[in-house]
Structure 1
């Protein structure tokens, strides 16, 4: 087996707390709705929206566009259908400034001492760039959906990332908190590492461990850095 030279990261849920961040923004804006319920409803539209692209039902569009369509879809459910256009556009950008899980920035900095690092996310480039600036992430490239013009878990997304770094899939390690993401990456030939995020979808509602075969399983990103750098 070849030596690992690059680490690819799922971002939403693995590196950043999307649920808590959106809930905090809803409370800051005093929208008068339950922040966690709003975050859950918005996120629930995520996979169906991308599936239309993955299945060929529509051409590729950036995740920012899908997030905005999904926001417009859920606002009436919360009695917010009169929200002004400018306020909708501003709220949609909350995805650009999601807060990292506490150990992530320092762990990424440690890992970058040995490996190339890139997000392998369904988020578009501007979203990933803004989130990196918000959290102090330093990437060697921004890869993923917009680069591949497709959405995970379609295998082309992972393979396009490997090609961008001129590496064989076996030289790349996919890091994620979602077993389905890792199963697809493994099918594409990448090595895999699972990060436990037991509270991603609410207390006790995230993955505490992988449900598929992986090369590494860690309790958080700092623990994975210990495994890879020891």
Structure 2
């Protein structure tokens, strides 16, 4: 018996839910910072500072103050700001070096339960990302990590950034499904709340170290989501996979 009866497709938040963005970005930031003689900068703090600019950059698009702009471009602009904030002039680095660091977001590692859980879930559901990442980013990530998506959908497909309702509704439309036949799997209560408001079903998966050992957010399900799981493999159990 499935905790999500009638759901045909599972769509996934990616950054934090599917992959460990913080340690992945810090790993490549450490390489860059050491190359520039800046061993004094904590690479995890650098990753946190870069991520902190993520929502404000997307809000420029969501508000209509800026046309839709893919996340790779927003990340690259944010990287320049973060480098300057840490006393590093981005103009002093080769463009290809900055592009390599910007693509740290393409090289993120999945959580240990991600791939075995996805393989089980895929036996009974169509799987795709519903992420603010762009298609190339998500495709490169999947190719490197072996994520078994049935389709790679990025924010360009919806031309909207979560939590705009269009991000959820257009994804369901692309899959030729009613919103109630789609469930969002996410480690973020806010994302799930927006998905539910758009008519999607919801599955909360706990990721208590997404923001590091001192994480204070999303440590529990804050609403009565259709299902709550401790991992993707636990989710597979709850969905009868």
Instruction: Provide the TM-score with structure 1 as the length reference.
Output: 0.96
Unaligned 5+ runs, structure 1: none
Q: Any idea what SS the aligned residue of 1:174 has?
A: strand
Q: Any idea what SS the aligned residue of 2:18 has?
A: coil
Q: Counterparts of 2:234 and 2:31 in 1: how far apart (Å)?
A: 33
Q: Counterparts of 1:51 and 1:166 in 2: how far apart (Å)?
A: 28
Runs of 4+ in 1 over 4 A off after TM superposition: none
Q: Where in structure 2 are the equivalents of 1:209-224 lying within 5 Å?
A: 209-224=220-235
Q: Counterparts of 1:70 and 1:89 in 2: how far apart (Å)?
A: 12
Q: Counterparts of 2:122 and 2:5 in 1: how far apart (Å)?
A: 19
Q: Counterparts of 1:218 and 1:208 in 2: how far apart (Å)?
A: 12
- 1:165 maps to what in 2? 175
CA RMSD between the two structures: 1.4
- 1:227 maps to what in 2? 238
- 1:36 maps to what in 2? 44
Q: Counterparts of 1:144 and 1:155 in 2: how far apart (Å)?
A: 15
Unaligned 5+ runs, structure 2: none
Q: Where in structure 2 are the equivalents of 1:81-100 lying within 5 Å?
A: 81=89, 82-100=92-110
- 2:209 maps to what in 1? 199
Q: CA deviation at 1:2?
A: 6.2
Instruction: Provide the TM-score with structure 2 as the length reference.
Output: 0.92
Deviations 1:25-82 (A, max 9, x none): 1223325221110000000000000000001010001000000000011101212213
- 1:6 maps to what in 2? 9
Q: Counterparts of 1:36 and 1:26 in 2: how far apart (Å)?
A: 8
Contact 2:168 2:198 in 1 (8 A): yes
- 1:75 maps to what in 2? 83
Q: How many residues were matched structurally?
A: 230
Report which structure shows greater RCO (CA 8 Å, sep ≥6): 2
- 2:30 maps to what in 1? 27
Contact 2:138 2:154 in 1 (8 A): no
Q: CA deviation at 1:86?
A: 2.0
Q: 2:70 aligns with which of 58, 62, 69?
A: 62
Q: Counterparts of 2:6 and 2:42 in 1: how far apart (Å)?
A: 47
Contact 1:103 1:222 in 2 (8 A): yes
Contact 2:204 2:221 in 1 (8 A): yes
Contact 2:54 2:75 in 1 (8 A): yes
Q: 2:60 aligns with which of 48, 52, 60?
A: 52
Q: Does 1:175 align with 2:178?
A: no
Q: CA deviation at 1:229?
A: 1.7
- 2:126 maps to what in 1? 116
